[in-house]
Chain A
Amino acid sequence: MIELRNVSKTYNNGTEAVKNITLHIKPGEFVSLVGRSGTGKTTLVKMLVAEERPTEGRIILGGWDITRIKTADIPMLRRQIGVVFQDYKLLPRKTVFENVAFALEVASYSKKHIQEAVPQILALVGLEPKANEFPDELSGGQQQRVSIARALAHRPKILIADEPTGNLDSVNTREIIDLLLKINNFKTTVMLVTHNRDVVNSLRKRVVALEDGKIAYDQERGRYIL
């Protein structure tokens, strides 16, 4: 599903964020990408959604070589990868329903499709009763679930969660992780980017650890041991 072949990224200021990474993630896999701040995790995510291009190497997603992806093709790529962030990135003046619908509106889906699809997605993340509430009326965990619902709007094959629990307490953290596991059960490939040791250790899933831009270790049913 996700294949990185000898990928390196050096920024214009000379910073080497990622150094010669080779990684293969199978379809339907749940992978935790761990490491301290500044080890290249976010750069890796940015390259996967074509926000940055690798300096060297190749990136292949679902058989699609996106290493030198054309600008016009980037939107299509991003509809196949759902991304959630620590800060939720919700529109405060839109309701929960509208925030999720927004992802479909900008991709020119019909109103009928939106009316049918959004309640289903909200039911999946357990937010159907909150459909008409605004983000600031929700808890942090609920807001992150809205963000996940929006990321799922295009029914992506890959979901990347970049520090999704960074702003949450332990109860909400657990709920979000459970939701990610539930999504993974539907055969969606999940990449959890985090430095939350407890979360990673409780998952007992594959762990890829980065250190200084390189893969420090890659373990099936791994633990966060850096």
Chain B
Amino acid sequence: MIFLSTKRILKFSWQHFWRNIWLSIVTMTIIVLTLFSLTTLVLVNAIADYAVNSVKDTIDVSLYFDNSIKEETVQALEKELEKIEEIKEITRVSPADALAEFKEVHKDDADIQAALAELDKNPLGGTLILTAFNMDQYPLIMEKIKELKADQLAEKIDYNDHQKLIERINGFSNKLRNFVLALSIIFIFIAVLTVLNTIRMGIYIHRTEIAIMRLVGASNWFIRLPFIVEGLLYAIFGCLIFWGAWALALYFSGDWINSFLTGINFDIRAYFNSNILNILGFEFIIIAVINMISAVLAMSKHLKV
């Protein structure tokens, strides 16, 4: 009996959907626009996070030593620095490595290569590069470096905390996020109104059928459920259409979009591939809830059973 009722409810829902196909198309178009807005919101969040993280990854403290400082002294300092618990990693670049790297970087510069050949010994000293677990720990690490008097030993300490850059990225991404969020809310509101209106029209179109259903003893849920399922059908088809279009857009223009994001190493295809279930689930739940709420609102006002 439940199977039969379910089958007939689905049949009636499909009839509502199909017999008013133009209204259904308009409704699904609004859902697609809402999904576009929501996906953009997800994307803006992701890109902002990537941008901030990529800046964070470049933060470090570099201690440059004069070539007069013996390597053993640098190694001893490295051991002291290893005791600082805020430091995640220490990379030591020996004078030889530094020279090799310098030569590699300037391999096409004949003057520099000639000048280096003239020198008897390596003009470069060693370098210690420190990275913290957390960007907030750098000021503390700087204090501890001073306590160890490493600042006196090093010829130069290079520390750029990029705090202003991060603040600027956060500021910009927050503004963009708020704009897209506002846009999403507007689209959600329009989607609610559209679905509500479509279902209201459906109730009006099927008023004779509904009256007869009531007359012959159809249960309240048997009358109401087709309209809720109809709302779900709009959600399912709207999502499928949008996701199909989005997948095509990514397939054909993913490289082009990525070309704008090379600085932060963001690959839009890889991002969607690894987060696809979360994004689709989040979007479907939002759209399905919107549609069901709209259906219930339309019925509560226009469908007396």
User: A and B, one complex?
Assistant: yes
* Chain A interface residues (CB < 8 Å from chain B): 49, 71-72, 74-79, 83, 89, 91, 102-103, 105-110, 150-151, 153-154
A102-B212 Cα distance, complex, nearest whole Å: 9
A74-B305 Cα distance, complex, nearest whole Å: 9
The yes or no answer to B218 lying at the interface (CB within 8 A) is: yes
Known contacts: A89-B211, A91-B212. The answer to whether A110 contacts B217 by CB under 8 A is no
A109-B1 Cα distance, complex, nearest whole Å: 7
The yes or no answer to B219 lying at the interface (CB within 8 A) is: yes
Q: Contact check, A108 vs B4: say whether CB atoms are below 8 A apart.
A: yes
Q: Contact check, B1 vs A106: say whether CB atoms are below 8 A apart.
A: no
Whose C-beta in chain B lies nearest to the C-beta of A90?
Answer: B212
Chain B residues contacting A83 (CB-CB under 8 Å) are 215
Known contacts: A108-B8, A110-B4. The answer to whether A79 contacts B217 by CB under 8 A is yes
The digit string for B209-228, where 1 denotes a CB below 8 A from any CB of A, is 10111111111101000000
Q: How far in angstroms is the closest Cβ of chain A from B206?
A: 10
Q: Contact check, A154 vs B220: say whether CB atoms are below 8 A apart.
A: no
Q: Contact check, A106 vs B208: say whether CB atoms are below 8 A apart.
A: no
Q: Contact check, A106 vs B213: say whether CB atoms are below 8 A apart.
A: yes
The yes or no answer to B5 lying at the interface (CB within 8 A) is: yes
Q: Contact check, A108 vs B5: say whether CB atoms are below 8 A apart.
A: yes
Whose C-beta in chain A lies nearest to the C-beta of B212?
Answer: A89
Partner of B217, one of A89, A91, A154: A154
Q: Contact check, B218 vs A106: say whether CB atoms are below 8 A apart.
A: yes
- Chain B: number of interface residues, binned into ranges: 10 to 19
Chain A residues contacting B211 (CB-CB under 8 Å) are 89
Q: Contact check, A78 vs B216: say whether CB atoms are below 8 A apart.
A: yes
A77-B214 Cα distance, complex, nearest whole Å: 11
Q: How far in angstroms is the closest Cβ of chain A from B203?
A: 16
Known contacts: A105-B8, A108-B5. The answer to whether A75 contacts B212 by CB under 8 A is no
Q: How far in angstroms is the closest Cβ of chain B from A158?
A: 13
Chain B residues contacting A108 (CB-CB under 8 Å) are 1, 4-5, 8, 222
Partner of A72, one of B209, B215, B220: B220
A195-B261 Cα distance, complex, nearest whole Å: 82
Q: Contact check, A107 vs B220: say whether CB atoms are below 8 A apart.
A: no
A77-B218 Cα distance, complex, nearest whole Å: 10
Whose C-beta in chain A lies nearest to the C-beta of B219?
Answer: A75
A150-B216 Cα distance, complex, nearest whole Å: 8
A151-B217 Cα distance, complex, nearest whole Å: 10
Question: Of residues B8, B211, B215, which shows the largest number of chain A Cβ atoms within 10 Å of its Cβ?
Answer: B215
A78-B218 Cα distance, complex, nearest whole Å: 8
Q: How far in angstroms is the closest Cβ of chain B from A140?
A: 18
- In order of increasing CB-CB distance, the 10 nearest A-B pairs are A106-B218, A79-B217, A78-B217, A103-B216, A75-B217, A75-B219, A108-B5, A108-B1, A108-B4, A106-B213
Q: Contact check, A107 vs B217: say whether CB atoms are below 8 A apart.
A: yes
Q: Contact check, A75 vs B220: say whether CB atoms are below 8 A apart.
A: yes
